[in-house]
Amino acid sequence: MKLDVIIKSGTVATASDTIRSDVGIKAGKIVVLGEELEDDCAEVIDAKGKFVLPGGIDSHVHIAQPSGDGIVMADDFESGTRSALFGGNTTIMPFCLQERDGDLRSAIDRYHGLAEGMLYTDVAFHLIVANPSPQVLGQQLPAAITNGYTSIKVFMTYENLRLNDAELLATFDVARQRGATMMIHCENEDAIRFLSERHVANGEVAPKSHATSRPVPVEREATHRALSLAEIVDLPIVIVHVSNGAAAEEIQRARQRGMKVTAETCPQYLMLTANDLDGMDWEGAKFVCSPPPRDATEQEACWLGLENGMFELFSSDHCPFRYEGTDGKMNPKGAKNFRHIPNGIPGVETRLPILFSEGVNKGRIDINTFVAVTATNHAKTYGIYPQKGTIAVGSDADITIWDPDLVRTVAHRDLHDGADYSPYEGLTLKGWPTTVLLRGKVMVRDGQLEGQLGDGAYLSRNSDLGAAKNMD
């Protein structure tokens, strides 16, 4: 069999094994693993001294999402997937947002329209349900799940997105009946509003008040409530972007009761603290995200969760806004009051290098755990394994070649997203992806883009039924 591509002499790592092996690729698939494969093929890539890993899967990414009057998200699908690609990712999973006054079907149609022909990576969409009306829960959501949109996110915060307990239970029940995966953003909106109004009454309106209006108990209580509601419905759930040890303890207790709970954390909870929101001249706005970064003690709790397997998923929660200008962080209201600063930070391109440098190269986690929490577990959780998320015969040839000794300092000018800053500016990291293949095609080679816009594809998680156009 004549191969299309051979990756030679690298150290292949999966979630369970680390071996010295060549990787043979044909027609976009991995077809053979073994040493000393014949070089009779179109292309041979030398990976000696490097890790050969599954392409990263970032299952928590916000792109081109409606964000309020006058606010524009910094990334469209072109810039967002390009940035993801350079960060070693071959699949991302953005959110298709049903706005409070809109329906689910038109939201799905809109998102496909934005993504069509604009992808450097493969994508699959989660749905955000903001208005669980009888029509949505009785017709549109079941149809969407049948058509491959098998993961749903709900919010317990943000006034225009949050669901009350009755709405959560009703949405959970549809997910249970249809076998969908439920993701939950856990923060208590009423507590946040109470604390925010108290801050404003005291004249405490700078960005740092964002963190103190969303303290750990706000997240811990909502996590406990979400788990309790899911237990009532008997629904496995995913708790996203856990920022602290107290919320992690709630998840552990639920697991001890027999619940199936998947937990996720993010780079900001390992590398940033609430002190970063106290920057001069309103620069703290660059670090406003929800839940907010905590302190060194909670950073250690999150690291421990990665080390001991409490966290199965490590995602970026990439949610980019520009700092300068009137349509992002420094919009006219946001420049005067923390309550109007768009919540979210960029990070899809730096997610993997941060965990590789600070986790693998510093001995906190091994390379197999790195692969598991950045690729394999995402694919398993959201229904695209083993097509994605591993290096195995029959899997898509989504592969990232890593130089474990390459040292770079994060500078936004070198990144590829649509924002105008990185929250990790100046952070020196050891270990970066240098070459990225998507379904066997070299997309990035030695840090240079070779792939074309449109090489990425939409991943339906039920390919027999098609996408939104078939929802009726």
| CA dist list (Å): 305 to 215, 359, 436 | 20, 12, 29
Mean pLDDT of 433-443: 98
Longest Cα–Cα distance in the chain: 73
User: Residue 68: what pLDDT?
Assistant: 86
pLDDT band at 143 (very low <50, low <70, confident <90, very high): very high
Q: What's at 187, amino acid-wise?
A: E
Nearest one of 116, 58, 131, 64 to 91, comparing CA atoms: 58
The number of CA neighbours under 13 Å toward the Cβ of 293 is 27
Please, is 153 exposed, middle or buried when counting C-beta atoms within 10 Å of its C-beta (0-12, 13-18, 19+)? buried
Nearest one of 314, 417, 415, 293 to 364, comparing CA atoms: 314
pLDDT band at 466 (very low <50, low <70, confident <90, very high): very low
Please state which of the ranges 46-50, 68-72, 265-269, 400-404 shows the lowest mean pLDDT. Answer: 68-72
23: left (phi over 0), alpha (psi -120 to 50) or beta: beta
Mean pLDDT of 244-257: 98
pLDDT band at 279 (very low <50, low <70, confident <90, very high): confident
Model confidence, pTM: 0.96
Query: What is the percent of the chain with per-residue pLDDT over 70, rounded to a whole number?
Result: 98
pLDDT above 70: residue 372: yes
Nearest one of 382, 449, 440 to 57, comparing CA atoms: 382
pLDDT above 60: residue 186: yes
pLDDT above 70: residue 13: yes
Output the six-digit token pair for 150. 């098998």
Mean pLDDT of 235-254: 98
pLDDT band at 465 (very low <50, low <70, confident <90, very high): very low
User: Residue 39: what pLDDT?
Assistant: 74
DSSP string of 406-442?
Answer: EEEE--GGG--SSSS--TTTT-EEEEEEEEEEETTEE
Mean pLDDT of 456-469: 60
pLDDT above 90: residue 281: no
Is residue 57 within 8 A of residue 352, CB to CB? The reply is no
Is residue 57 within 8 A of residue 380, CB to CB? The reply is no
User: Residue 127: what pLDDT?
Assistant: 98
CA atoms of 25 and 2, how far apart (whole Å): 9
Indicate if the alpha-carbon torsion angle 293, 296, 298, 299 is positive or negative: positive
pLDDT above 70: residue 268: yes
Mean pLDDT rounded to a whole number for the chain = 96
Indicate if the alpha-carbon torsion angle 154, 160, 164, 166 is positive or negative: negative
Q: What angle do CA 330, 345, 260 make, to 5 degrees?
A: 140
CA atoms of 20 and 17, how far apart (whole Å): 10
Query: What is the percent of the chain with per-residue pLDDT over 90, rounded to a whole number?
Result: 93
Please, is 258 exposed, middle or buried when counting C-beta atoms within 10 Å of its C-beta (0-12, 13-18, 19+)? exposed
pLDDT single digits (tens) 324-366: 999 999 999 999 999 999 999 999 999 999 999 999 999 999 9
Name residue, tokens 């690609």.
Answer: 85
Is residue 210 within 8 A of residue 277, CB to CB? The reply is yes
E strands present in 98-228:
122-123, 126-128, 151-155, 181-185
pLDDT single digits (tens) 56-72: 999 999 999 999 889 99
